[in-house]
Amino acid sequence: MDLFAGLKSFFKTDATTIDNNVFRLHYKATAVILVAFSILVTGRQYIGDPIDCISKDDIPTNLLDTFCWIHTTFSLPDAWYKKVGEEVPYPGVDKYTPGEKRVYHAYYQWVCFVLFLQAILFYTPRYFWKAMEGGRIKNLILGLNSPILPEDTKLANRKLLVEYMVSNLNNHSVYFMSYAVAEIMNFVNVVGQIFLMDAFLGGEFSTYGSKVIQFTGWDWSVRYDPMIKVFPRLTKCTFHRYGSSGDVQRHDAMCILPINIINEKIYVFLWFWFVILAVLSGLVLVYRAVIVFWPKSRLMVTRSRARLANQDYLETIINKCKLGDWLLLDLLSKNLDPLNFRDVINDFARKLDGKNMDNV
């Protein structure tokens, strides 16, 4: 579809990796999903027919549709749990008694905009980290993975990389802090967005997914679909106009909201996706705390990344490097092939020990 044509180029994959898989779930997977949902809802809302209203009175259909869309429709909470077909025609739809509580559904006009705003918020930590990272990893790898690069050029480039690491040893604290802040931003953002959507949907989102799960296990004769309460497909609308005698006449209408068939599926998916993403992001913060407070964990991770390197050299590096230096090496391991990374590790350790790499 043309609506989705620009998404791939906008969220194109970078040749250089400067984060982890969970980080990418935020700014790639989630942001793309939210933008796609926003485009889908926008197309259905402004190109299709989002609302159809009927009334027993002689009110033009297009006028009634436009009025009820702009001024929102409502449901009657007392009618949500009544028996459909006997007491009410549809959950939330019943005869209105003056003074009876109403629940207005104004959110559906804003769903496409809120989804797009959420996508921007999910991309914000990536934007922050990319600005703070400044292309450092890309500049350091210097084409070392290129199969057509001459060996003498690779050796020279590797020396430049190692010289940078040595000359800037223990000067990457801000680098590490920026990355940690970006990971915290990811976690705060996804948890905050759960609360944002809960407020947006009138306090119904936080338990939405769990209620949907419970709904599937209820007896068919008594079960109540929680999605209908949050995203009703049939609602009421009240239209007032002057009558022939000059008095104000009230006209009740029932409105079908086809757009909510899409909305309910979107938010069921988002509930499960955000919960999973929040858990994964929380685990990343736990992992980051372990890296900070347990130095041996850095050695364990580096060993898993550099299996071909001299193990004694790895201990030398971990003992002499601070968190920022370790993070730089960890990101380099994701961008260099195992042989090149082994050579970088070995050369770096020798340099730290004061040995001449040309004589090894």
Q: Name the residue range of residue 160's domain.
A: 1-353
pLDDT average, residue stretch 332-347: 90
pLDDT of residue 4: 52
Examine residue 359 and state whether it is found in any structural domain, yes or no. no
Tens of pLDDT, residue by residue over 48-83, are 778 888 887 777 888 888 888 888 888 877 777 777
Examine residue 312 and state whether it is found in any structural domain, yes or no. yes
pLDDT > 70: what percent of the chain?
A: 88
CA atoms of 116 and 254, how far apart (whole Å): 30
Whole-structure pTM value: 0.85
CA atoms of 319 and 244, how far apart (whole Å): 90
Tens of pLDDT, residue by residue over 289-334, are 999 999 899 999 999 888 888 888 888 889 889 999 999 999 999 9
Residues 138/16, Cβ–Cβ less than 8 Å: yes
Q: Is the pLDDT at 265 greater than 50, yes or no?
A: yes
pLDDT average, residue stretch 263-285: 94
User: What value does the CA radius of gyration of the chain take, rounded to a whole number of Å?
Assistant: 29
The count of structural domains within the chain is 1
Question: With bands split at pLDDT 50, 70 and 90, how would you rate the model's confidence at 85?
Answer: low
Q: Is the pLDDT at 349 greater than 50, yes or no?
A: yes
CA atoms of 136 and 297, how far apart (whole Å): 24
pLDDT of residue 82: 74
CA atoms of 94 and 224, how far apart (whole Å): 17
Q: Hey, what are 125's tokens?
A: 């930590």
Residue with more model confidence, 260 or 124? 124
Q: Hey, what are 297's tokens?
A: 């964990």
Question: With bands split at pLDDT 50, 70 and 90, how would you rate the model's confidence at 8?
Answer: low
CA atoms of 37 and 262, how far apart (whole Å): 9
Examine residue 358 and state whether it is found in any structural domain, yes or no. no
Q: Is the pLDDT at 177 greater than 80, yes or no?
A: yes
Q: Which residues make beta-bridge pairs with 249?
A: 241
CA atoms of 178 and 298, how far apart (whole Å): 18
pLDDT of residue 224: 61
Examine residue 360 and state whether it is found in any structural domain, yes or no. no
pLDDT of residue 123: 95
Examine residue 2 and state whether it is found in any structural domain, yes or no. yes
Examine residue 65 and state whether it is found in any structural domain, yes or no. yes
As a whole number, the mean pLDDT across the chain is 84
pLDDT of residue 356: 46
Least confident of 40-44, 270-274, 290-294: 40-44
Examine residue 106 and state whether it is found in any structural domain, yes or no. yes
Q: Is the pLDDT at 340 greater than 70, yes or no?
A: yes
Residue with tokens 């759960």: 194
pLDDT average, residue stretch 237-264: 78
pLDDT average, residue stretch 123-141: 93
Residue type for position 211: K
Cβ neighbour number for residue 198 with a 10 Å cutoff: 15
Tens of pLDDT, residue by residue over 86-103, are 777 777 677 767 767 888
pLDDT of residue 359: 41
Tens of pLDDT, residue by residue over 191-234, are 999 999 988 888 878 777 777 777 665 554 455 666 777 888 88
